[in-house]
Amino acid sequence: MRDLVFLGFVSIVAIVLLSIFPDRREVVFATSWEFFVEMISILPAVMVLVGIFAVFVPKEAVVRYLGKDAGVRGIFLAIIMGAFPTGPLYIAFPIASALLKKGARISNVIVFLSAWSCIKIPQELVELEFLGFRFMLARLTLTIVFAIAMGLAIERTVEWF
C-alpha cells in the first residue's frame, strides 16, 4: 500500500511539473523509457541472484561474517563485497535487503552500499592513471573512513528510533 501511495504522489508531481514545463515532456519520456529498458534488462538477473543468495547462503554465515559480532572483519568484508561488483547502484538495494533479512549489521550494509557507489576497482585504476596515486589514496581513504562513520551513525539512528 505504501508503495502505491508513493507511486501516486510521484505521478502527481510528474504531471504537475510536465504541465508547468511542457517543453520538457519529450526529454522526460525518452529518459524514462531508456531507464525502464535498462532496469528491465538487468533486474531479472539480479532477482535470480538474490533468490539464490536467499536459498543457498545460510543465515548463520551472514550473521557470523556481517552481523553484530563481526567487528572490523565485517566492515572489511562489506567494503570488499561492495567494491568488486560493477553496475548501477539500484542493483545493490535488493542485495542489501537480503543481507539485512539474514541478520547483517545495519552499519555493514551501509558500508556495502557506500562501497558499491563510491569504490570500484576499475574506477580506482582509472583514477590512479589520470589523477595520480596520492589523489586516489586520499580519496579512497576518506571514502572508507566516512563510509564507516556514516554506517555507524545510521545504525545508531535506526536503533534509536
- Quick: pLDDT tens for 128-161: 999 999 999 999 999 999 999 999 999 999 988 8
d(CA 36, CA 63): 35
- Indicate whether 43 pLDDT > 90: no
In this prediction the pTM is 0.81
Residue labelled with grid coordinates 561474517:
65
Q: Which residues lie closer than 8 Å to 101 by C-beta, 6 or more apart?
A: 54
What's the grid cell of residue 40? 528491465
Question: How many residues can be counted in the chain?
Answer: 161
